[in-house]
Structure 1
Amino acid sequence: MEASKRVLSAASSRLSRLVDLTGRSGCLRRANFCDRVPPAWLVDGVHRRGEAPPLLRGSLRQTAWPTRAQAVAARGYSSSHSNNKNNNINTTPATKRFYSSSTCSISRRPNLCVASSSQPRVSSALSLKRNCTSLTPNSAILAVNMSARDILPDNFRPVNYDLQLTDLDFDNWSYNGTVEISGELTKPTTEIVLNVLEIKLKEAQLEIQGTKATVSQSTQNFTYNDKQQRATMVFEEEIPPSAKASLKIKFSGLINHDMAGFYRSMYKPAVPAAASVPRDEQFHYMLSTQFEACDARRAFPCFDEPNLKATFDIAIEIPSDQVALSNMPVKESKETAPGKTLVSFDRTPVMSTYLVAWAVGDFEYIEAFTERRYNGKQLPVRVYTTRGLIEQGRWALEHAPKVIDYFSEQFEIDYPLPKSDILAVHEFTHGAMENWGLVTYRTTAVLFDEKLSDVRFRNRVAYVVAHELAHQWFGNLVTMDWWDELWLNEGFATWAGWLATDYLHPDWNVWPQFVNEGMGMAFELDSIRASHPIQVPVRDALDVNQIFDHISYLKGCSVIRMLASHLGVRTFLKGVAMYLKKHQYHNAKTDALWSALSEASGTDVNALMAPWIEKIGHPVLTVTEKSSDGAISVKQSRFLSTGDVKPEDDTTTWWIPLALSGKVGTAEGEVQSLSLTTKEETITGVSDEFYLLNSNATGFYQVNYPAERLAIFAKQLDRLGPADKIRISSSASDLAFSGYAKTSSLLSFLEGFSNETEYLVLAQALDAVATLKSVFGEDDGIRAGLNAFSLKLIENQVDKLSFDVPANDSYTNSLLRKRILLAAVSNGHEGVTAEAKKRFDAYFNNGDKSAVHADLRITCYRAAILSDPATAVQTLKKEWAETKAVDGREVCLGALGHVQDAAIIKDVLLPFLFDASPDAVPPADVHIMATALAANRVGRPLLWERLRDDWENSVVKKLGGNPILVDRLVKNSLGKFTDAKVVDDITAFFSNQDTSGFNRTLETVKDKVRGRASYKERDAQVLKEWLKENGYLNK
């Protein structure tokens, strides 16, 4: 290490000269360039400079070839053009990828990349300096992500799309279209390759404006590559390059039912619909789009990559009694035939194809306006629904204008579009989609009925609206350069969404909620060996759906929250504003954000954050208390839920903000801004009476305190804030699961929460016990003991809460009531279960609709399911079909998954879940009941049996049109087993299936099962003995 430091020190004196060399392409052609630049700087500098790899190849072929090339190859690159056959250094995958494309993505599209600026040499200098100062013997090539991307040829750069859709056929679910793509033809060509999927090209015409005349060629010669989702248009004669080119294409497409591309959603209308609305015997249909990540190509021919930004002019011919929406306001509506209207929209800003959107349906809207003025006017904000549901959009409409104003102020850039529309879509894969100016939502993520909706959806709608509006800046205005930096979009929008929700609802305690829910889910996935870094290489964009996961969203948010807390939120937002202003309407990389934050804070943010973004996993801090000298030792190592960390797993040293409370001589609650930057350090002057690491739970790491300290915390709960209580109990649960700590210590700590009144803290404690029941619950004795433990934990709250909900009940008290009563039923409280069942009967059998409050439906449904499953299942299936509540179907499906009768599960519920009948659960909701069944010890093996024995019908045919749904089903259905033999079954079964859309998820599922099996084998007897010794289980 010391030797490498001396080398770097000596090299720094040459830095300015080397930077100057990399800034001038002529120097690259000098034969001695490779001799003068260290290999790491050579590759990093040339790549970041955007200089074409052939120049590098030329330098490597000079006299320095053997030594220089071998050194460069050590970083994963080599020259595939070498004539030196004795050098076997061109065989690594990275080597082949490096030279497989003619130029790197930066040099190919300089006008679309952050690396292209008015001062490229300065940009290169900053990149080179940053890389040089951070190099260590253990740093490989993480500073340079040169893994080749499977991207389109670069001979055509789009600038504008003029898209028109006509002849919408609701009998055959088809349409015709024309698109004129204006742009630049960058080199002579006879072929143009673009993205299409389920699109039939009819004719294409390429026209360029030459220096003397216009050149035009037409073709109907098309070849399709279905695997790559591309079409090649072949022209008879070579066409010369031109700065002004136009590609006109006639095509036809399908309005599918896969919730991707241009698709149809079925629904039952709340009121009579317009005459032209498509319908069948059971359902009506609305039309909308979902293009992220790679499905714009399913709606129109396009260059479907995020850094190929363009403007869009969109026009749609629709039935005159329906409504068309798109990203921009309507420019013109013109009758084309009796009953037909062509609706044209204003031109969009420059944006990525995945953000294009349109919708057609029997829509109505409500409208509000921002308080701030944009271009001299208050901005109109509308919520659209199918007719009859619009009043349920009031809650979202109350929030959206305020959020737009808030972000405009925080980001120091006004919302850039002339309108903001919100659309509720009846069938939707995700929660929402941030299409610029037309955000689309799953109904339960945007609609809220004050009388019929569960209170938790009030929180969900407020947050999801804020998350999607954050994207209008972070993702839409400035877009990630490629899918490997998806986290830039999603991690930030998650953090900003909670920031805005906290601003609007400070009484909701949303950050402790995030610690409980968001961080908890991030830790779970990040603690698996088969997980992935936040910034994960994506060669093929078609693989990206699998990284729309808790790492990109929730770990991404967690590390942003950690950094913002360290820098100060105001300083952090100042850097964000600088980043957005510099890169607006362009693409950017993570380094660009770090640079802006570094400038705003005076801190080398890249040095702090690189391990968090580029490395897999997170650390656990093991605390050792020195004997009576006021010192503690903290040691970091990688945390794995399986507990079997190997030396090769533990090679990362993270920057860890310790946020220490309890230093001697400091005030109560004062937090010391200390950081751990080595593997182990000793901190002196720590109070033996009370201290706390990671105060307010802003750091993304586990803390393994001595068991004695955890016992002390149980007696000092009044000195801990809600987020601290949540994180300590959650961490104790994770540490017990992995074997770092004892399950007995966890339960002893949780016993101290019997007098807790904070909803989120009790929720976390109950979650910890639920995890134990999930792992050990197949043992009847342990399950009975944990039920008794849970009832003892909540008995004080059960005595205070009733099923009669006051009209003025607070949001947090409503959540507490719901959680405590549900826990009472789930753990066998006879009195609460009897009351819940009585209310269920009164509601469904006696017509007393006041008997069951909307918040307590799930509690009453659960009681009925456990008491009389056969009757309850038929009742809830009927309610599922007829409910008027926007969340009613989700509540019913969640309850049905808790049936404990194997025959009912197999003969009634699984057919209801997986059959293709219109009366069965629709594809978008399959995961809801499947998740509940997988958590059910009786349902879990039956669910797997159905999937294994009927994969083709239950999964491929029902969900296969949308790989996101298949991935989600696998993720939620198979990870709860506690027998390691099931891993072999899963491996054997899927060895004969196409797993390309969920191969990453499959590995994480198997890792989860291994961890659960290991925990069960290790602690089952210990847990049973503790429950006996402490009076929860008869001896």
Structure 2
Amino acid sequence: MVTFGCFPSESHTDTQFKPAGVLKRFSMTSGKVDDEPSTWDKYGVKLVSALCVTLLGIGLILIIVFETQRAGPAPKPWQQFRLPDTLTPIHYDVEVRPDLTTFVLTGRVDISVRCATPTSYVILHSSDQEIDRNSAPTVQGSDGQKTPSVTSWFLFPENEFLVLELSEDLREGEVYTITVYFRGAVRAALNGFYRSSYVNEQGQTRYLGITDFQPQDARKAYPCFDEPAFKATFNVTVVHQQEYTALSNMPLESTESRGGGWVADRFQKMVRMPTYLLAFGVSDFVSINSTTSTGIATKIWARPEYIAAGMGDYGLDVANRVVAYFEDYFGVPFPLPKIDHIALPDFNSGAMENWGLITYRETRLLYDTNSPSATVRKATARIIAHELAHMWFGNLVTMEWWDGTWLNEGFASYIQYKGLDFAEPQMNVMEHFAYDRSQSVMVDDSLTSSNPVYRPVTTADDVTQIFGSIIYSKGASILRMLENFIGEETFKKALKTYLSKNAYGNAVQDQLWAELTTAAREDGQTDLDVKAVMDTWTLQMGYPVVTMTRDYTRGTAEVTQQHFLVDSASTVVVTSELGYRWYVPLTYLTQANLANTPVQTWMAPNEGSKVITIQGASANEFVLTNINHAGYYRVNYDPTNWQLLADHLNGDNFEDIPADNRGTLVDDAFNLARAGMLDLTTALSMTQYLVKERHFIPWSMALRATSYIERVVGSVPDISDLWEQYMRQQISPFYEEVGWTLLQGDYNTEVGQVVAISNACGYGNGRCVNNATMMFDLWINTNNNSHIPERLKSTVYCTAIKHGGRPEWDFAWQQYLTASASEQNRLLSAMACTRDTDTLNTYLERSRDDSLVRRQSAPLVVESVGRNSVGKSLAWSFLRDNWDFYFDNYDGTSFTMTGIVEDVTRQFSTQADLDELETFLATHPNQGTATQAFSQAVENTQANIRWRRDNEDKLRAWLQAQR
């Protein structure tokens, strides 16, 4: 505010502006802890003097006063969320000493920095650490000249800063070394430098320590400049008890004894990278190794018994071949001499792409070839390919700031399919892409509470919340769409240039768009502006539904686009400068030309509608749009075309429509019906052909789409029973055809059998249920489950526990306590299948005890119970009553809180459910990293209530007609 007058405003004392986080500061001159920071004294507002001009001969004085705003002084640099850009780190020497007996971590860090702007402060990140007051932080110049001394320092927890105050300014362009001695914990929480454990074959508990730093947790292990743009080189020394082996990003350089059973391992100098990619650990793990065709040393590390059992062999083979493939694909060599892959008993996420030392949850890296499973094999190969793709996208070239995280995760989530396809060509994985990636994220992205893949990040919670399905799956989907319209060779050429130009640096998406545009124009697409196209997909949330209305007489079609919202009654609050319109690469085929290359035409944002000539379609033939679901949009047709498609699916030649498009037709139809854009009976009619379908992709996509009905009417007994009968009728022919004899063949055959059996049992096929329970009973009677095929264990366990009683559940619990990691995961999910509410409550209570359920697995229990129609209200009550437990243990970790809230609330469909949610939110204003998940839960619940009101009677009538 600006006021006019001739008097200065009243001064402000510094105590009005003192940050709550600053409690004490350590004076380097007195050696004492001061109660008040000296720099806050006399910190008043600066005023602009009044200017009075006397006009001669008139006696009139004109006074013009410019006064600064009365809001107070400009904030100190440590009061900002972001680090100041006054210093640039060049190199770190990090020495850590983790004690796996006392779980204390001590260490020293020397950071070489260059002064970019003169400053009397050194500000870097430090969290959950004690700074050694006996060896206080120092700053030393490299030129031998007099260096400003550190007069005092303090921790500012609010922004996780360590602040050093200097006697005078550092000089621009000069290099200085910051030295800090620190002490912290080998943490119980699964971030920073944390501990894990396992029980070996001799019954001994063995501990290990490992890092997990992304996105903001390097500061929990050592003081550092913990932002992605502050790249530097690193030397790491790990001092450890000699019974353990130390690992870091680079190969071992030297080892020396430190006495008393301790050794110091120093690792070779690491290339420039951000702090979140630094990794180090100590364990008693062993490894297997190999060398890639390009000379990179590759190892798989795990518990000794797992390596001895050959559970690392498949991962080693995949990792070896895929990294060499990526070197060729990107045209940029892998710059490090080695890559270690380590399987951890406790790990917060699936894996982390630390450069040269990739960390995984055990169940994601290890694969038991003695218990083969196509789905596990695919999951293992896919996650290895994902993390290896990061070695280029994310590690070699890093986003400038977390708002560009999708450049890392979207690319890795897409490029992983190329690596997986190379490793397992018989899987035909690109056919899986729509199911794996696009289908589920499109539901989240059709809410008004969604967000763009590129969005501002201004708080710590923003950083963590950005790691969600939008940046991973939507990011991957729009990149696939981009490659589809620009061409694979042009895409590859642009990526090579982008990676080469920005190697070891940071980049923003516009730099990538520029390289793609240049490559496209060189290759003949002279009018393509990639930035203009892709801005419509990255800078605004959501996606369009393209409606095609055919003129069957003229052979034309009018196409329109609009922002698709699954709840038509919702209102978009966040405006978009682009108007929620997109550049849409529209592809289509006609019924007579399904084997041909798709026709492509563009819809521009400024085209409200467009008339296209349909090439080769007669009036009695359908048109199929968005071939292979390569475009990130939904398609609606006029009623006649929908009927033509349904008729073809119900005919003998339905398989000439691509498998992913068969699934997409069902998915689009049900979501359009949810939005009120298509009659529900039309969507339901698209499922009738499934009685003939034998491919797992259309079945899987259809089951995911129709699961919405099960969620919202699960509490309406007559409709729920009718729906179960109908779906049992549709799946049973598939089940009867494949049976329980293990089918050997291609990936589709094996996974198709699993889909058929699991859903036949799930929908209550009597023969399936009986067979599953008999297998489980035999396990109980013989204490041996070798007769249950690996690929069918999850189905057998869940079915038997669902249709059994407490004895079956108690047996599963006892097996769980001593099972391997992968078996534990199956049993954790299966035990949530029981329909006994007392047992479910017992299960939820046990999940809080980390001596019974590993901390990383506790969320899986409440999520699985929440997905059970019987357990919905139990899981919600448990989450609500134990909110502090979950918030304290899991807030700040990617995906965890979001996943819990999504699974526990996804079945909410009544006004009572909505009231419960809103009451909870009113009494818990801080939801941390679950904030967006709760917003989506409210929006979904409101939509579910309206859907039930508008469709229950229609659904009931249609299902009764099918009997």
**What TM bracket, shorter-length normalisation?**
0.7 to 0.9
Cα distance in 1, alignment partners of residues 254 and 68 from structure 2: 66
In structure 2, relative to structure 1, the CA distance for the partners of 1:840 and 1:781 (3 Å cut) is same
Listed one character per residue, the Cα deviations across residues 280-315 of structure 1 (whole Å, up to 9, x for unaligned) are: xxx432110000000000000000000000000000
For residue 905 of structure 1, what is the aligned residue in structure 2?
Answer: 840
For residue 568 of structure 2, what is the aligned residue in structure 1?
Answer: 643
Moved over 6 A (4+): 83-88, 99-102, 647-650
Cα distance in 1, alignment partners of residues 281 and 728 from structure 2: 50
The answer to whether residue 608 in structure 2 is matched with residue 679 in structure 1 is yes
Equivalent position amino acid for 1:924 in 2: Q
In structure 2, relative to structure 1, the CA distance for the partners of 1:270 and 1:743 (3 Å cut) is farther
Listed one character per residue, the Cα deviations across residues 647-674 of structure 1 (whole Å, up to 9, x for unaligned) are: 877822201111121299x684331121
What is the CA-CA distance between 1:272 and the residue it aligns to? 6.8
For residue 719 of structure 1, what is the aligned residue in structure 2?
Answer: 656
Kept in 1, the 8 Å contact 2:348–2:856? The answer is yes
Equivalent position amino acid for 2:832 in 1: G
**Among residues 141, 156, 166, which one is paired with 1:208 in the alignment?**
141
Equivalent position amino acid for 2:954 in 1: V
What is the CA-CA distance between 1:542 and the residue it aligns to? 4.4
In structure 2, relative to structure 1, the CA distance for the partners of 1:331 and 1:705 (3 Å cut) is same
The answer to whether residue 401 in structure 2 is matched with residue 482 in structure 1 is yes
SS in 1 for 2:682: helix
Pairs within 5 Å for 1:56-455: 150-166=81-97, 168-202=98-132, 203-210=136-143, 213-215=145-147, 217-218=149-150, 221-270=152-201, 283-371=205-293, 373=294, 378-390=295-307, 391-452=310-371, 454-455=373-374
The answer to whether residue 529 in structure 2 is matched with residue 604 in structure 1 is yes
Kept in 2, the 8 Å contact 1:825–1:832? The answer is yes
List alignment gaps of at least 5 residues for structure 2: 1-63, 522-527, 649-653
SS in 1 for 2:273: coil
Kept in 2, the 8 Å contact 1:926–1:969? The answer is no
SS in 2 for 1:430: coil
Deviates more, 1:249-258 or 1:956-965: 956-965
What is the CA-CA distance between 1:218 and the residue it aligns to? 4.8
Kept in 2, the 8 Å contact 1:483–1:541? The answer is no
Cα distance in 2, alignment partners of residues 917 and 438 from structure 1: 27
Kept in 1, the 8 Å contact 2:732–2:765? The answer is no
In structure 2, relative to structure 1, the CA distance for the partners of 1:541 and 1:647 (3 Å cut) is closer
Cα distance in 2, alignment partners of residues 445 and 819 from structure 1: 21
Cα distance in 1, alignment partners of residues 76 and 327 from structure 2: 41
Kept in 2, the 8 Å contact 1:422–1:439? The answer is yes
For residue 986 of structure 1, what is the aligned residue in structure 2?
Answer: 917
Pairs within 5 Å for 1:15-34: none
Cα distance in 2, alignment partners of residues 84 and 638 from structure 1: 51
Cα distance in 1, alignment partners of residues 597 and 781 from structure 2: 58
Equivalent position amino acid for 2:236 in 1: I
Pairs within 5 Å for 1:997-1008: 997-1008=929-940
Equivalent position amino acid for 1:675 in 2: W
Kept in 2, the 8 Å contact 1:453–1:887? The answer is no
For residue 854 of structure 1, what is the aligned residue in structure 2?
Answer: 790
Kept in 2, the 8 Å contact 1:271–1:388? The answer is no
Listed one character per residue, the Cα deviations across residues 346-395 of structure 1 (whole Å, up to 9, x for unaligned) are: 01000000000011001100111111x2xxxx111100112211121111
In structure 2, relative to structure 1, the CA distance for the partners of 1:493 and 1:271 (3 Å cut) is farther
What is the CA-CA distance between 1:998 and the residue it aligns to? 2.1
In structure 2, relative to structure 1, the CA distance for the partners of 1:87 and 1:343 (3 Å cut) is closer
Cα distance in 2, alignment partners of residues 629 and 152 from structure 1: 63
For residue 700 of structure 1, what is the aligned residue in structure 2?
Answer: 632
Normalised TM-score (structure 1)? 0.81
How many aligned residue pairs are there?
Answer: 875
Equivalent position amino acid for 2:411 in 1: F
Listed one character per residue, the Cα deviations across residues 582-612 of structure 1 (whole Å, up to 9, x for unaligned) are: 1000000000000011111113100111110
For residue 669 of structure 1, what is the aligned residue in structure 2?
Answer: 596
Cα distance in 1, alignment partners of residues 370 and 745 from structure 2: 14
For residue 859 of structure 2, what is the aligned residue in structure 1?
Answer: 927
In structure 2, relative to structure 1, the CA distance for the partners of 1:84 and 1:292 (3 Å cut) is farther
In structure 2, relative to structure 1, the CA distance for the partners of 1:936 and 1:341 (3 Å cut) is same
In structure 2, relative to structure 1, the CA distance for the partners of 1:775 and 1:973 (3 Å cut) is same
SS in 1 for 2:193: strand
Kept in 1, the 8 Å contact 2:450–2:541? The answer is yes
Cα distance in 2, alignment partners of residues 761 and 667 from structure 1: 17
Listed one character per residue, the Cα deviations across residues 47-104 of structure 1 (whole Å, up to 9, x for unaligned) are: xxxxxxxxxxxxxxxxxxxxxxxxxxxxxxxxxxxx998999x99xxxx99x9899xx
Cα distance in 2, alignment partners of residues 976 and 532 from structure 1: 23
List alignment gaps of at least 5 residues for structure 1: 1-82, 103-147, 274-282
In structure 2, relative to structure 1, the CA distance for the partners of 1:525 and 1:209 (3 Å cut) is same
What is the CA-CA distance between 1:704 and the residue it aligns to? 1.1
Kept in 2, the 8 Å contact 1:916–1:958? The answer is no
Cα distance in 2, alignment partners of residues 668 and 958 from structure 1: 53
For residue 13 of structure 1, what is the aligned residue in structure 2?
Answer: none
In structure 2, relative to structure 1, the CA distance for the partners of 1:935 and 1:810 (3 Å cut) is same
Cα distance in 1, alignment partners of residues 93 and 945 from structure 2: 57
Listed one character per residue, the Cα deviations across residues 159-188 of structure 1 (whole Å, up to 9, x for unaligned) are: 00001112x333431121111101212344
What is the CA-CA distance between 1:453 and the residue it aligns to? 5.8
For residue 139 of structure 1, what is the aligned residue in structure 2?
Answer: none
Kept in 2, the 8 Å contact 1:924–1:965? The answer is no
**Among residues 1024, 1027, 1031, which one is paired with 2:959 in the alignment?**
1027
For residue 673 of structure 2, what is the aligned residue in structure 1?
Answer: 736
What is the CA-CA distance between 1:319 and the residue it aligns to? 1.3
SS in 1 for 2:939: helix
For residue 689 of structure 2, what is the aligned residue in structure 1?
Answer: 752
SS in 1 for 2:786: coil
In structure 2, relative to structure 1, the CA distance for the partners of 1:331 and 1:86 (3 Å cut) is closer
SS in 1 for 2:174: strand
Kept in 2, the 8 Å contact 1:478–1:584? The answer is yes
The percent identity for this pair of structures is 27
For residue 802 of structure 1, what is the aligned residue in structure 2?
Answer: 739
What is the CA-CA distance between 1:540 and the residue it aligns to? 2.4
**Among residues 425, 429, 436, which one is paired with 1:510 in the alignment?**
429
Cα distance in 2, alignment partners of residues 961 and 489 from structure 1: 20
**Among residues 831, 835, 842, which one is paired with 2:771 in the alignment?**
835
Cα distance in 1, alignment partners of residues 508 and 277 from structure 2: 18
In structure 2, relative to structure 1, the CA distance for the partners of 1:668 and 1:1006 (3 Å cut) is same
SS in 1 for 2:482: helix
SS in 2 for 1:715: helix
What is the CA-CA distance between 1:735 and the residue it aligns to? 1.1
CA RMSD, aligned part only?
Answer: 2.5
In structure 2, relative to structure 1, the CA distance for the partners of 1:961 and 1:619 (3 Å cut) is closer
For residue 879 of structure 1, what is the aligned residue in structure 2?
Answer: 815
**Among residues 536, 539, 556, which one is paired with 1:631 in the alignment?**
556
**Among residues 587, 592, 595, which one is paired with 1:659 in the alignment?**
587
For residue 56 of structure 2, what is the aligned residue in structure 1?
Answer: none
Cα distance in 2, alignment partners of residues 256 and 453 from structure 1: 36
Cα distance in 1, alignment partners of residues 65 and 506 from structure 2: 40
Kept in 2, the 8 Å contact 1:803–1:856? The answer is no
SS in 2 for 1:157: strand
SS in 1 for 2:773: helix
The answer to whether residue 900 in structure 2 is matched with residue 969 in structure 1 is yes
Normalised TM-score (structure 2)? 0.87
Equivalent position amino acid for 1:684 in 2: T
Listed one character per residue, the Cα deviations across residues 800-827 of structure 1 (whole Å, up to 9, x for unaligned) are: 2222325x44432221111111111111
SS in 1 for 2:271: coil
What is the CA-CA distance between 1:405 and the residue it aligns to? 0.9
Listed one character per residue, the Cα deviations across residues 415-460 of structure 1 (whole Å, up to 9, x for unaligned) are: 1111011011111111100000000001111011123464311111
